[in-house]
Amino acid sequence: MIDPKATCLFIPNGLSRFKNDLFERIGRHIQEKGGSVIRLGDVNALAKLPDDITPIVGAMPEIKHLYAEWKIRGRRWIYWDRGYARRVFATWLPRGENGGYYRYHINSFQMREIKSDLSDDRWKQLLPGNKIDPRPIEVKPWSKGGKHIVLAEAPPGYAGLHGVEGWTDKVIARLKKLTDRPIVRRRKDELDRPLSRDLEGAHCLVAHGSIAAVEAVVLGCPVFVDVGSAASLVGLNDISLIESPVYPERQPWLNSLAYSQFNEAELVDGTLWNLLR
């Protein structure tokens, strides 16, 4: 369990209106629980937080050096970002309502473990449609015998944060040495072409840490991803094995995903703080 009184949300500068409203709203919830907020992108204040206060941070290249420092000295931090299922936007799975779901992880950017003892109750809650998006979530059977490879590009901001600049071009060059399969490239902002369309008849999806890999697994497409991706727990990391994807049982993974993401109401009622480990 995390004590919200011992947390501090960092709000960066330069956010869009939607993101700023979201950060401020979450910040107020945390303050109501006794926690604190750092505003105006004050990185110095974030760096000076005492170790008994857990910072809550997002995907922010400007604090890349702090992530590295915290890892070296074992400092606890919480990362939050859009969730895996029933997100609000930037998703090809059915969307969430009332703000949707956001993922929260301790000392990692994505889920790093499948917990086999978790119930499927939270996953089942995500399946039915809602007023915002009436579509149910359908976990499709694994697709086998596909022809092409879908490559989810690593955009500059993501690549800079994770230190993988040039990842897309390097991976394409290596794939061309490993296989004759056609490669279909996808940008993060590819909003006019559904992911499901690219996955039709696909052999696999290759990505670094894109949530498109998580969605691909739900849609039945095997994946090759970096070890830091939540999809790596049901995929492979070595693209030299590109001709031999894996098709594991997914339900324990889905259950774990559902226990890694929370909506705003669950932050307020304490569910997030009780379940976050």
Query: Over the stretch 217-236, which tens digit does the pLDDT of each residue have?
Result: 999 999 999 999 999 999 99
- Pairs from 232-241 (Cβ < 8 Å, separation ≥ 24): 233/111, 233/112, 233/113, 233/114, 239/171, 239/174, 239/175, 239/178, 239/206, 240/178
Measured CA to CA in angstroms, residue 265 lies from 88, 135, 209 at distances of: 15, 22, 27
Sequence-distant (6+) residues with CB within 8 A of 212 are 92, 152, 186, 195, 205
Compute the half-sphere exposure of residue 78: CA atoms within 13 Å on the CB side of its CA.
24
Tokens 């110095």 belong to residue: 44
User: Quick one: pLDDT at residue 192?
Assistant: 81
Measured CA to CA in angstroms, residue 127 lies from 34, 95, 103, 130, 172 at distances of: 34, 11, 17, 10, 35
Paired with 222 in beta bridges are none
Share of the chain above pLDDT 70, in %: 100
Share of the chain above pLDDT 90, in %: 89
**H/E/C letters for each residue in 2-46?**
CCHHHEEEECCCCCCHHHHHHHHHHHHHHHHCCCEEECCCCHHHH
Average pLDDT, the chain: 95
Tokens 């919200």 belong to residue: 4
Tokens 């490879």 belong to residue: 149
pTM of the model: 0.95
Mean pLDDT of 73-94: 93
pLDDT at 190 over 80: no
User: Quick one: pLDDT at residue 77?
Assistant: 97
pLDDT at 144 over 80: yes
CA 103, CA 259: separation in Å to the nearest integer? 9
**Residue whose C-alpha is closest to residue 84's, from 205, 276, 257:** 257
Tokens matching residue 117:
């003892």
- CB atoms < 10 A from the CB of 76, how many? 14
Backbone angles phi, psi at 169, to 5 degrees: -65, -40
User: Quick one: pLDDT at residue 231?
Assistant: 98
Measured CA to CA in angstroms, residue 8 lies from 29, 48, 178, 181, 222 at distances of: 11, 12, 47, 48, 38
What are the structural domains, with CATH classification, of the chain? Answer: 4-130 (no CATH), 148-254 (3.40.50)
Mean pLDDT of 40-49: 96
Q: Sheet with 148-152: list strands edge to edge.
A: 183-186, 148-152, 202-206, 223-224
List the Cα angle 167/19/206 in 5-degree steps: 25
User: Quick one: pLDDT at residue 188?
Assistant: 83
pLDDT at 251 over 80: yes
- CB atoms < 10 A from the CB of 136, how many? 11
pLDDT at 189 over 90: no
Q: pLDDT band at residue 24, thresholds of 50, 70 and 90?
A: very high
168-178 per-residue burial string, b: 16 or more CB within 10 A, e: under 16: beebeeebeee
Tokens 């990362």 belong to residue: 79
